[in-house]
């Protein structure tokens, strides 16, 4: 597949009017074999702590992880965050709202857990109001995994299945990363700013489209993904370098 060449954002002059909306796995953190295997460096937290004052607090995480898990990964920071692809939302004042119910997925838990237990390398991650079925350790079972999930979820109109990188996410249709972007941009301190969203996966496409509609910067962190994003970066390391450049430009003294 010949993908369209997208410009890099590296050459853009950092703008103090930006609002940074950041995916986590594959964008800020290198993807690990299992969700618990990711490694967060102290350097990343220090970088985020510099970006927050530089952008007057307009920095948020938008992830498939729960907000509780994000707080564990980024402690002691507790930035505004959208978890479970927008089913959880924490604003800048620390107020948390949720959508969807865990019981909507009850009929899937036992059969998916049994399926995972019966095949080496498969992992069911139960996040309460969302499920993630990982096959990174058994990529040869991709077709089998997708067929199993399609069979179990077929005809269920209130659920959405998203095929990410070696993972299938199952969640209620109440929200997605696009609605998470719009929610942040409608509230302080994001309101009136230019949305800048970085993501690396199919699960981020809703956010790219929302940012495009809002005349912001949509940045795909994967050189090989077909995407609605209008810019590219080539991986986590380049993302961190670019964010450091923003911090250096807008917060040159490094004050926290």
SS3 67: helix
* Non-local CB neighbours of 27 within 8 Å, separated by 6+ positions: 198, 199, 200, 221, 236, 239
- Respond yes or no: is residue 69 known to be catalytic: no
Q: Under DSSP, is residue 232 helix (H, G, I), strand (E, B) or coil?
A: strand
CA distances from 81 to 68, 198, 231 (A): 10, 14, 23
Q: Give the C-alpha distances (Å, rounded to integers) separating 15 from 34, 60, 120, 180, 214.
A: 36, 17, 48, 22, 16
Length of the chain: 256
Residue 145 CB partners (closer than 8 Å, separation 6+): 122, 133, 135, 168
Structure tokens at 61: 């995480």
Contact 104, 87 (CB under 8 A): no
- For Cα atoms 184, 49, 193, give the angle at the middle one, nearest 5 degrees: 30
Query: In the chain, how long is the greatest CA-to-CA distance?
Result: 56
CA distance 133 to 135: 7
**The one catalytic residue among 15, 23, 36, 176:** 23
User: Annotated active-site positions, please?
Assistant: 23
């Amino acid at each position: 597949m010949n993908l369209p060449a997208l410009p890099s954002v590296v050459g853009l002059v950092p703008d103090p009017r930006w609002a940074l909306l950041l995916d986590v796995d594959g964008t800020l953190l290198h993807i690990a074999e299992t969700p618990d295997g990711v490694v967060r460096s102290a350097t990343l937290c220090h970088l985020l702590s510099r970006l927050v004052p530089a952008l007057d607090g307009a920095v948020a995480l938008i992830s498939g992880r729960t907000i509780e898990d994000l707080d564990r990964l980024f402690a002691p920071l507790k930035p505004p965050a959208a978890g479970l692809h927008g089913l959880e939302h924490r604003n800048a004042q620390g107020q948390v709202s949720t959508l969807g119910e865990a019981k909507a997925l009850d009929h899937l838990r036992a059969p998916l857990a049994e399926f995972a237990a019966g095949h080496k390398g498969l992992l069911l991650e139960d996040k309460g109001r969302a499920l993630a079925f990982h096959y990174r350790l058994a990529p040869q079972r991709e077709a089998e995994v997708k067929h199993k999930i399609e069979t179990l979820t077929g005809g269920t109109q209130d659920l959405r299945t998203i095929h990410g990188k070696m993972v299938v996410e199952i969640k209620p249709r109440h929200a997605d990363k696009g609605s998470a972007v719009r929610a942040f941009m409608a509230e302080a301190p994001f309101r009136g700013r230019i949305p800048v969203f970085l993501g690396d996966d199919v699960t981020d496409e809703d956010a790219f489209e929302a940012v495009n509609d809002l005349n912001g910067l949509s940045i795909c962190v994967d050189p090989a993904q077909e995407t609605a994003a209008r810019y590219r970066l080539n991986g986590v390391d380049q993302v961190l370098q670019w964010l450091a450049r923003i911090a250096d430009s807008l917060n040159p003294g490094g004050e926290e």
